[in-house]
Amino acid sequence: MSAKPSRYFGIDVLRGGAALLILFRHMPLPEEIGALADAARFLSAVGWVGVDLFFVISGFLISQILFREINQSGRINLPRFWFRRGCKIWPSYFVFYGIGMASVAVVDPNITALDLGKYWPNLLFIQNYFPDTMRWRHSWSLAVEEQFYIALPILLTGWLILRAKGRSTTGDCFVPGLLMLCAIVLCGRSAVALGGADWEKIYYPTHLRIDALAWGVLLGYLTQYRAAWLGTQLPKLKYAVIISVVPFVLALYQNSIETSPAIFWSVGFSVLSIWFLWAVALAVVPPDAVASSGRPWYHWLIRPLAWLGIYSYTIYLAHAIVFKLPGMTEFRGWFYRMVNIGSWSDSVLFIGLSIILGWLGARLLEQPILRWRDINYPASKP
């Protein structure tokens, strides 16, 4: 068995930041006025971009797994890859989904099996193509990623077959193919937006959002096969990314996802993904593994974000159900009276319980299953 790769500390930091952005996006906003409340509303307004950051990160990490297997064995073991991904995604997903559905049934005794049955697309990870009334809230992005997990290894297998037949050499069509895919998706979004479609018709479908994952795949390819070139180019981008943070965030704040013009839904998503591509690249090249020595001073300041990043998947699942659990209305009232911080109590409770429940889900379910998976079904056969 090959040694398990070290975690990317920078990726965990970005994951933690993305998880917090999503929590801020969906938390109950305080009714108070003042600078702190304005900051909370600001974070809520821009927090939706956390999902796009997750997409770019996923594209990078999944492609890294597949490229390593290609480099080691010259092929991709599709069943093994899908099974390993399933061990990561499915148990936690279906447990939290089951808890959410059970909570709905307990809280509303008038709900019927037929009412719950309308959520069947969530069982197949195709809910992002169905109306909101049939979708487990916030799970649409998981459907996009699951569809990506199916498509990418198949496409890479086709690329390997063409290369073996002499119709392709390493990379001669890979990067142009990815860029062409991103251009096609951009054109598709533009056509739908200019056709007058509602923003949700652009925001949820995989075929109009897959470019965010594709940009991550491009980074995965470059780190595997063009690392020297990438290493020389990144220093040129470092300060440009840092300088652009403030105007970039302000542009997001001024363009609400629900009310933005069509140009934002089309070109804006592409610009967002490319900017996150740069951010992820700076986090991983050169790789800053957790086990590395000589950590910079700021490493210790951002460790809490890295800790959140480790549990980001189950935190994401937990935040979708935490306020729907039985007895939560009464508990929220009790917490409101106990902490005496006004309407901030709901915000604090939502974020705190999401993190605690996500941490418990990871420790009790996700991590034990992954340890079993890595022992019995390693990424590549010994």
The full DSSP string for 23-87 is HHHHSPPP---SHHHHHHHHHHHHTTHHHHHHHHHHHHHHHHHHHHHHHHHSS--HHHHHHHHHH
Residue 114 clears pLDDT 50, i.e. is over it: yes
The more confidently predicted of residues 132 and 314 is 314
Residue 159 clears pLDDT 50, i.e. is over it: yes
pLDDT of residue 290: 41
pLDDT of residue 151: 96
Can you read off the two tokens belonging to residue 206? Answer: 């995989």
Using the structure block, give the residue that is written with the tokens 């933005």.
260
Confidence of residue 163 (pLDDT cuts 50, 70, 90): confident
Residue 293 clears pLDDT 60, i.e. is over it: no
Residue 230 clears pLDDT 60, i.e. is over it: yes
**Cα 40 from chain centroid (whole Å):** 22
Residue 78 clears pLDDT 50, i.e. is over it: yes
pLDDT of residue 16: 96
Contacts 24+ apart (CB under 8 A), 352-356: 353/318, 353/322, 354/23, 354/315, 354/318, 354/319, 354/322, 355/23, 355/308, 355/311, 355/315, 355/318
Residue 258 clears pLDDT 90, i.e. is over it: no
Question: What's the mean pLDDT in 297-304?
Answer: 80
Q: Which residues contact 115 (CB under 8 A, 6 or more apart)?
A: none
pLDDT of residue 382: 40
Question: What's the mean pLDDT in 131-141?
Answer: 90
Residue 92 clears pLDDT 70, i.e. is over it: yes
Q: Tell me the percentage of the chain whose pLDDT exceeds 90.
A: 61
Question: What's the mean pLDDT in 205-219?
Answer: 96
pLDDT of residue 3: 43
Which range is least confidently modeled, 52-56, 130-134, 290-294, 377-381? 290-294
pLDDT of residue 1: 36
pTM exceeds 0.85 for this model:
yes
Confidence of residue 123 (pLDDT cuts 50, 70, 90): very high
Using the structure block, give the residue that is written with the tokens 């990506």.
148
| Cα 115 from Cα 313, distance rounded (Å) | 28
| Cα 324 from Cα 119, distance rounded (Å) | 16
- For the chain, what is the mean pLDDT? 88
Which range is least confidently modeled, 168-177, 242-251, 328-337, 368-377? 168-177
Using the structure block, give the residue that is written with the tokens 């590549």.
380
Residue 8 clears pLDDT 70, i.e. is over it: yes
Question: What's the mean pLDDT in 115-141?
Answer: 91
DSSP state of 324: G
Question: What's the mean pLDDT in 85-112?
Answer: 91
| Cα 193 from Cα 269, distance rounded (Å) | 12
Q: Which residues contact 375 (CB under 8 A, 6 or more apart)?
A: none
Confidence of residue 294 (pLDDT cuts 50, 70, 90): low
pLDDT of residue 296: 67
Confidence of residue 193 (pLDDT cuts 50, 70, 90): confident
Q: Counting beta carbons within 10 angstroms of the beta carbon of residue 237, is it exposed (0 to 12), middle (13 to 18) or buried (19 or more)?
A: middle
Can you read off the two tokens belonging to residue 162? Answer: 């063409």
Mean pLDDT highest for which of 47-51, 169-173, 241-245, 261-265?
A: 47-51
